[in-house]
Amino acid sequence: MSEPTHAHPIDPERVDHARARLPSRDDAAQLTSVLSLMADPTRARVLFALDMVEELCVGDLALALEANEDAVGYALRLLRTAGLVINRRQGRVVYYRLADGFPEPLREHCLRQLIVLSRAPAPDEG
């Protein structure tokens, strides 16, 4: 490994500012755990579908996602365990919805914007 050609920090104020605003290691681990959970296509689509309507049962979600009920049911179990969705029973039917307090900016901006960003061509490096 080569020696740096200059001493660090170059900008101690910015280093201190960044350090002060960073999440703790535990918070970062929790965040990456949730993001990993959301990284599955079926689980991501479940969240988008539940964002579009108030609630759906497993069968109706499976129809909306054009997926099988087992895959949707498994996705819902994981999302419910993580606290991202909640359910309610009405007779024999279980309905799922986004958890109370699911952040609207995440739904309305971040998730959709991440899709747009991922489709953008990579900037030329040079």
Alpha helices per DSSP H over the chain: 12-21, 25-38, 41-52, 58-65, 69-81, 104-105, 111-119
Q: What is the CATH number of domain 25-119?
A: 1.10.10.10
Q: What is the pLDDT of residue 1?
A: 59
Tens digits of residue pLDDT in 11-58? 999 999 999 999 999 988 988 888 888 889 999 999 989 988 989 999
pLDDT at 108 over 80: no
Q: Is the pLDDT of residue 125 over 60?
A: no
Position 79 scores a pLDDT of: 95
Tell me if residue 63 falls in helix, strand or coil: helix
